[in-house]
Structure 1
């Protein structure tokens, strides 16, 4: 599969399905057919509309769509999305709330690079904006990055995070969601050794595979059941003629989407069947629940081949983070060097992607960190997405994370020296 022809073939299939949907909708909606009402034609038009939209969204990067936010002053403030650092493989962006004083809380959300865009965390951003200055890593689609920009693997990813944290300064509070959790932990340890003053105040790890073998899942079982040669042969292709990254080796987004859907194929099929009948009945709308969810879910991005393969080989197979043997740019990282950054883990009881036990393993790796600077939370009944974007996040986890941040933040200097007995008691209370 490691050829441009395979990539272009998959794109041709997607494009054909989009065209078939558009054609069916156009033909079945021909005005003359209104003289002879026919349920089959109504179904055909609805199928075409739903199909065209679904396959079109697969190659479109979603917009953030955050126009304004209601703040604690009771007023609506416009939101501007501004780049802070622009790099070939990803940018650091800031959601500036216009007309509002700068917030004391500064939060860096590290978005996952696991098939979807950073906009997957849109609801997470919206929930934090009223109470914090929010920054996020906006990773780029590998198909749009020329080969001349070089490689991008998990070491490069880690160094990007290091640079972003150094750019924002020591008053930042980092929240890593899912895939980046082990790499953000490593980035913090890297800073602890080379530039301690640039470490963040707090580090919150949400549902990430710090130790994938702590609690095996289908994801970890797959990682152990295939060889690296098989993965490279089956999953890696070269970007085709249509995009700037022509010739770059990638794990294509369309191939990833096939895997995502196959995990819950029956549920997705039922969702699209229901949507077709809603369109027929005139009950669907541009921004109904189905369209909001699938506009985001179907929008996938290519990962560089080296990032995907090194993640599987070094994080899942070799467990380099879990065994504290991770090396970045020739430097062996020691997670035990983290001594004054408060660390909190969040897990979902029903998480079938990063099961409970995988993320909380980070606390055991922080051997140099006092217990009062460690905290963990297991959310009852929550699945993977619920712990950062669902009701569990909004109602339970978000308040706990903000309390944790406040308990361990007191300015860049005091944040690094413990802030006295009162702060230590507050941190211990949050940890419990």
Structure 2
């Protein structure tokens, strides 16, 4: 299709996502347990915006003319890579699916999308919507199944030119091995995080910092890749700030994700819940203090719910400070100086996101420069949009979703060198 035709299709898809927002959100909630109020914004709301962004962007991407000798014409063409394999997780399938699908389709590729085993309903409906809006048959294919079967087949396929993935580091490593064992397809990975949220005593509003930090870890029961799961607090305000944050966490209503009064929904699965509780048990063994929560709740319903949990006295080497929980578990560590804060912030294998709370502009810039992360929030946490990239460093992955930089994954560059 010509770019103008692709634009029309993607705009229609965005319109349909908006028209079916409640249905799509409920489909996702029934799969993954995200609280509906958050799901409406984060899933169909975000996905519609993503399709619109890349619909508008696709005909603003040009080739290049190289500066050459007068008798030579050097052209740089941007061509679709071909077939994109996309594997997405269960926590925000529609949002993250759109981050992969929209730029890949806008660039003119075909996509084979593999949802998580526990969250495929909204993406299956999205595939139907795309067909109904004029996307040609076969351009978007959704293949459900176990990662060890469908995901492995996709990653080993010689017909897949680029593989994009959001999920765990263990799976990311396997996908790189599968690439090496097949056609050396490019693999772009958005993996886990152990993101530090650093609060200095001179934060402009400690009460607001506590409120935002609580939601930065406890929304969606902590099942967010950029969750601020490590709280680093300047020692002079440590006890007071932890108390403020605990008060905010106690206000959160954990319950049925389809109940509009619920502010925190369910854990995705029993396996995930048991893993979360295992981190709490290990923290106790390592001498940490459970300042709030730490237990399963609403067991009589048969559902998977967990109390917002705050663990203090955590050293950088402790398990709950090193490994991604992907649950409503916050590890709190005190620090004494800017240098101490940077050392602790950078003490994990991950580098996805971070937060800094300070009124000192010079300190803010130093922390942004010094923290090794793809995104650093200052006096806020979360909330960025499609105008800026999302990606990690270290073992949080490579490549970027969102923004114009996402196109880099879905185009090949071809040089034409012409003697005139």
Q: Please give the TM-score of this superposition, normalised by the length of structure 2.
A: 0.32
Q: Please give the TM-score of this superposition, normalised by the length of structure 1.
A: 0.31
